Amino acid sequence: MSQLKVHNSYTRQKEVFTPLTAGHVGMYVCGPTVSGESHLGHARPTITFDFIYRYLLHLGYKVRYVRNITDAGHFEEEGREAEDKISKKAVLEKLEPMELVQKYTNLFHWAMRQFNNLNPSIEPTATGHIVEQIGMIETIIREGYAYVVNGSVYFDVKKYAAQYPYGKLSGRVLDDLLETTRDLEGQEEKRNRQDFALWKAAPPEHIMRWQSPWGEGFPGWHIECSAMSTKYLGTEFDIHGGGMDLMFPHHESEIAQSTICNHRVPARYWIHNNMITINGKKMGKAYGNQIRLSEMFTGKHPLLQQAYSPMTIRFFILQTHYRSTLDFSNEALQAAEKGLKRLWEAYDLLKKLVADEGEGNGSPATTADPALDDKVTKQLREMDEFMKDDFNTAKVLANLFELVPVINSLKGGQIRRDALSPATLQLMKRYFTDYIENILGLKGESTGDDQKLSGVMELLIDIRRDARSKKDYSTSDKIRNQLLQLGIVLKDEKDGGVSYTFA
């Protein structure tokens, strides 16, 4: 068995993954800012780290997966004024800030369930950890790497950079930052332009505010993740994840803060997923192409030709390696939808085939087609290697698809039932379940589990069978065509059976 290798953004190379404590993994992933409804952008990192989490569990690790909810403090620049996103929106919607945050947190959780993402082990909120954040800021001041101005606290990046490799993660050079950082509000308080806020004094109209040693205010952009990762995973932990856009300044600043407080780089492996683009352009407010997840699922967005189910989106994301950009378009989504349907139907078929074969039919090693048997076994085993090579879900799916014709042919008779040994069939079923459901986290989207409906379907199929046996094709076609109009596809199987799917 080969070892798990991950691409570490911090060293820019693929490394063998060795957890700090054998058998245990601590993973921190930057979660959403709940100042608005979750959009397509939230799908990529949450699904990426979900399959990473699932895979680590599959490998037998005990994983503590921490994903924060940012419900306070982030700034948004709109025109000249810098305002707190959450408090501003709260005024507009006439809600308590916490009411607003709760609303969007609930919507985020709803979307995560749609995607079949597992819950993190701990989901801490920024507002719930003000005390820890203040404590951390005090330590940084005591260590001499932060200074207080008018009730705000700033991190002294220049001093830090003289001692530590500031910019290592994101590939920044401090001198370049000096020249290129553009003007922002409040710059005049800072000693150097690249310094960042640890704590901001709240202006009187600001609703979200907490008491601190420096007066009433709210925490800076980056301190929450340092405080909460330290609290729940320790001063050094295994994996820190997030979107690539967070590398600078967010993760770079986190490293600086934690390095001063805890005297070490917090995480050993930094994993960053790439971005989603829409028709080749980055998704973002500035481009006016942000699609909310609720809009994806219903198709109600000018850019969408139809609704796309959560599993279609999940499958689409899985078809790409997580470190590549992924371009959304109607054509690509529709292709994913069809592909997933094909894969899922083959998987359903496989489960039935293996159940039919039973356990005791013949010797487990008997195969009428050793070459095919070997090929299937090899393609199954290969999936382990693909996944261990930096979580290559794209290649795993390719192999699963390679096996789809084999499954369909076993059913259709193009391949003899005894071509594969019972042991290989069992193995195939186990791998399909492990990968499709447990690791990739896909699930069926059946819409027809209704008992009465299936009873009616049986009846219609029965009537149609009678009609066909009498060569009464006008009746049989009428049944099929009218069902088709309702979105139910009848398929006459070779063996005389009839199956149906919901279009």
Partner RNA sequence: GGUCUCGUGGCCGAGUGGCUAGGCAGAGCUCUGCAAAAGCUUCUACAGCAGUUCGAAUCUGCUCGAGACCUCCA
391 near 322, Cβ under 8 Å? yes
| Comparison of 143 and 327: residue with beta carbon closer to RNA | 327
Q: How far is the CB of 317 from RNA (least distance, A)?
A: 10
> What is the closest distance, in whole angstroms, from the C-beta atom of residue 412 to RNA in the complex?
4
Choice between 280 and 302, CB closer to RNA: 280
CB 471, min distance to RNA, A: 8
Angle between helices 330-357 and 422-432 (to 10 degrees): 140
Contact 129, 228 (CB under 8 A): yes
Tokens found for residue 367: 């195969």
The C-alpha angle 302, 303, 306, rounded to 5 degrees, equals 90
Instruction: Tell me how far, at minimum, the Cβ of 95 lies from RNA, in Å.
Output: 19
- Cβ 313 to RNA, closest distance in Å? 12
8 Å CB contact between 274 and 241: no
Beta carbon nearer to RNA, 426 or 475: 475
Angstrom distances, CA of residue 502 to CA of 121, 309, 385, 464, 484 = 36, 14, 35, 18, 9
**Nearer to RNA (CB atom), residue 249 or residue 441:** 249
Q: Is 251 annotated as a binding residue?
A: no
Which three-class secondary structure state does DSSP give residue 148?
Answer: strand
DSSP E strands, 119-215: 146-149, 152-155, 196-201
Q: What angle do CA 410, 309, 490 make, to 5 degrees?
A: 45
* Pairing label, strands 146-149, 152-155: antiparallel
| Residue 225 counted as an annotated binding residue | yes
Closer Cβ to RNA, 19 or 403, answer by number: 403
Q: Which is nearer to RNA, 61 or 439 (CB)?
A: 439
Query: In the complex, what is the shortest distance from the CB of residue 408 to RNA, in angstroms, rounded to a whole number?
Result: 3
DSSP string of 288-354, one letter each residue? T---BHHHHHHT-STT-SS---HHHHHHHHHTS-TTS-EEE-HHHHHHHHHHHHHHHHHHHHHHHHH
> d(Cα 437, Cα 455) in Å, to the nearest integer?
28
338 carries a ligand binding annotation: no
Distance CA 209, CA 217 (A): 5
Nearest approach, Cβ of 286 to RNA (angstroms)?
6
How far is it, in rounded angstroms, from Cα 486 to Cα 474?
18
Structure tokens at 400: 């699963």
In the complex, minimum distance from the CB of residue 194 to RNA, in angstroms, rounded to a whole number: 7
Amino acid at 265: V
- By beta-carbon proximity to RNA, the closer residue of 21 and 325 is 325
Closest Cα partner for 180 from 193, 190, 169?
A: 193
Of 70 and 212, CB closest to RNA: 70
359: helix, strand or coil: coil
Order of all β-strands in the sheet with 267-273: 62-67, 24-29, 237-243, 267-273
Q: Which is nearer to RNA, 121 or 475 (CB)?
A: 475
- Taking Cα atoms as reference points, which of 145, 36, 58, 14 lies closest to residue 438? 58
Q: Which two tokens stand for residue 83?
A: 């305002």
* Spatial separation of the C-alpha atoms in residues 500 and 451, rounded to whole Å: 15
CA 237 centroid distance within chain: 21
Provide the minimum distance between the beta carbon of 232 and RNA in the complex, in angstroms, as a whole number. Answer: 19
**Quick check: helix, strand or coil at residue 356?**
helix
Q: Minimum distance from CB of 359 to RNA (Å)?
A: 26
For RNA, the closer CB: 139 or 392: 392
Residues placed in the known binding site for ATP: 285
Residues placed in the known binding site for Zn(2+): 30, 225, 250, 254
